[in-house]
Amino acid sequence: MKYWKITALYYGQLTLSRAAFSGTVQPELVTDYPFGGFLLQNGSENVLVDTGMRESYYEKMAIGDVNPIGSTEILLEALAKEGLTPADIDTVIYSHLHYDHCGNIDLFYDKPTYVQKKEYNNMMNPYSFQTARMDYFPDTPGMLAKVKNLIFVDGDIKLSNGLELYLTPGHSQGSQTIVVPTEKGRYVLTGDNPSAKYCLFPWLDKMTLMDGTTVDLTPITDGSLKFLTGVFVPDQFSSYDSYYKQLALAEKPIPEYFICNHEPENIFRKYFG
Ligand SMILES: [Zn+2]
């Protein structure tokens, strides 16, 4: 089996209170979190995980005043920094179909594209709170319909190239986790379930920001909160089950092997595996 290398891509950013992801823990900590994606490479294939934001989405974003940055141009810049254009991408995998993860589907219509069937169904039949928050943008179904080879994943599968896809609901009904076998072990791309590592490991007492500086986290060390969930986790029961599932999938159940989509450290560190 060929090993993969993981490169974090910067698609933009937004500013959030920690409470968005942590619930009641340290709501006063307000920092920038990236919109991100990942490039997975094994020497013969370029796989793109998520396709970022569109500038036209800012106006309709319904999660408060979060100073969003993100555009098609920023996605193209992120790929260019790796010496790539959309034409060089072989396959696209979506962690889920929220607007900040699939804003540029139209650049990849001719690529085999993997999405969980439950996520597609959730997007087509959103709950009213999802519509009110504009989790799914109105133009996404139309763009997805133009993808020539849209592959619906029904649960957990292993692809022939070694990548593994798992259904891990909680943040959305069809959130998808991607396990990437690298020379350094099995890394788990969690998507937004969870969005940041301190949700899986509430005892963490530091977080590295996008510029490499660190901030102090209020750690939960007495075991009173097994995991953290915030306003972006509408199904806490499923989310907990997914967290346990993810912990069992990694090389070891320690922070090193987990890469969350909105983790600021990804942008500073950039390479994994
Ligand atoms: Zn999301």
Determine the distance separating the centroid of ligand 1 and the alpha carbon of 178, expressed in angstroms: 15
The model's pTM is 0.97
What backbone torsions phi and psi does residue 63 show, to the nearest 5 degrees? Answer: -125, 25
Determine the distance separating the centroid of ligand 1 and the alpha carbon of 1, expressed in angstroms: 31
Determine the distance separating the centroid of ligand 1 and the alpha carbon of 107, expressed in angstroms: 20
Average pLDDT, the chain: 96
Strand partners for 167: 176
| 137-177 per-position pLDDT tens digit | 999 999 999 999 999 999 999 999 999 999 999 999 999 99
Determine the distance separating the centroid of ligand 1 and the alpha carbon of 221, expressed in angstroms: 28
Determine the distance separating the centroid of ligand 1 and the alpha carbon of 135, expressed in angstroms: 7
Tell which wins on pLDDT, 213 or 58. Answer: 213
Determine the distance separating the centroid of ligand 1 and the alpha carbon of 11, expressed in angstroms: 14
| Neighbouring residues of the ion ligand 1, judged by CB less than 5 Å | 98, 192
Quick one: pLDDT at residue 194?
97
170: left (phi over 0), alpha (psi -120 to 50) or beta: left
Determine the distance separating the centroid of ligand 1 and the alpha carbon of 96, expressed in angstroms: 7
Give me the amino acid identity at 66: V
Do residues 6 and 13 touch, judged by C-beta distance below 8 A? no
Determine the distance separating the centroid of ligand 1 and the alpha carbon of 73, expressed in angstroms: 21
Determine the distance separating the centroid of ligand 1 and the alpha carbon of 103, expressed in angstroms: 12
CA dihedral 253, 113, 10, 162 (to 10 degrees): 40
Determine the distance separating the centroid of ligand 1 and the alpha carbon of 200, expressed in angstroms: 16
Determine the distance separating the centroid of ligand 1 and the alpha carbon of 192, expressed in angstroms: 5
pLDDT band with cut points at 50, 70 and 90 for residue 1? low
Determine the distance separating the centroid of ligand 1 and the alpha carbon of 2, expressed in angstroms: 30
Determine the distance separating the centroid of ligand 1 and the alpha carbon of 195, expressed in angstroms: 8
Do residues 54 and 43 touch, judged by C-beta distance below 8 A? no
Give me the amino acid identity at 12: G
Is pLDDT above 90 for 223?
Answer: no
Determine the distance separating the centroid of ligand 1 and the alpha carbon of 184, expressed in angstroms: 28
Mean pLDDT of the region 243-271? 98
Q: Which domains does the chain have, with CATH numbers?
A: 5-272 (3.60.15.10)
Determine the distance separating the centroid of ligand 1 and the alpha carbon of 98, expressed in angstroms: 5
| 23-53 per-position pLDDT tens digit | 999 999 999 999 999 999 999 999 999 999 9
Quick one: pLDDT at residue 133?
87
Measure the CA–CA gap between 128 and 177, rounded to whole angstroms. Answer: 25
Weakest mean pLDDT among 29-33, 54-58, 110-114 = 54-58
Strand 150-153 and strand 91-93: the pairing is unpaired
Three-class secondary structure of residue 201 per DSSP: coil
